[in-house]
Amino acid sequence: MEGGLDLTIIVPALAAGLLVLLTHVPLGSQVLKRGIVFIDLAIAQIAALGVIIAGVGDLDPQGWAVQGAAACAAVLGALLLTWTEKQWPDVQEAQIGVLFILAATAGLLLVAHDPHGGEHLQDLLAGQILWVRYSQLVLPAIVTGVIGLALYLLHGQLGRLPFYLLFALAVTASVQLVGVYLVFTSLIVPALAVRHYAKHQLLLAYAIGAAGYAAGLVLSTLYDLPSGALIVWCLTVIAVGVYAVGPKPLTPARSPH
């Protein structure tokens, strides 16, 4: 065992994870229903690109200007995807993939001459959740409240544009807290695990996410392992277990020949 439990580190990190889950779990179920699973990666990568652009401009990495740059990039990406879905709905998933790879490679080009560029990219992908401070949770908490209120007022019935805009805001608030990998995992894995449950889907998905974050943070602290990667694995293992013991879809009866 490499270290001990430090609640002063774990508690704010867990609070950050729970904030992310509050919006990502219900939005993740929407993503599955719409069949556009990789939108979260694309929007998260675009938000990360906004952060990189702000960094190139020597803005304070913890300042509101960086948050604004990430939000503007994510919203522009959301508007573009809204337009492409309207124009070419049959290839929307492919278009999302193209946008993701363009944003990812643009980030590589922008940091190519930065001696710390690789480290910065790694932080945006894997996140630095274990070092989150309470002061960093203020803006995400506000954004989470706004998105939660919108989802409540709309009863989860989101049109194309509202969905993409809310999604962009949610990802913007979370990508700098937990990184691209955890954004994707928080959105998709709990939703996958509970998709065949008839009751309490949302509550169960929240429980899976919270347990995954808690287990990953504790284990990463005890064994001095990368917290983001370990949370991804813990959350996924728990989700697989919940799915395995849950109800299975009915197999359609074969028609007689």
Residue-wise pLDDT for 92-111, tens only, equals 889 989 999 999 999 999 98
Whether the predicted pLDDT of 58 surpasses 80: no
- Write the DSSP assignment of 125-149 as a string of letters: HH--GGG--GGGGHHHHHHHHHHHH
Compute the mean pLDDT over every residue in the chain, rounded to the nearest whole number.
87
What angle do helix axes 64-87 and 92-110 make, rounded to 10 degrees? Answer: 150
Residue 8: which region, alpha, beta or left (left: phi > 0; alpha: psi -120 to 50)? Answer: alpha
Whether the predicted pLDDT of 153 surpasses 90: no
pLDDT confidence of residue 1 = 45
Note the pTM of the prediction, 2 decimals: 0.85
Distance CA 110, CA 55 (A): 10
Class of domain 7-245: mainly alpha
pLDDT confidence of residue 172 = 84
Cβ atoms 178, 129 nearer than 8 A? yes
Stretch 11-36: mean pLDDT, rounded? 92
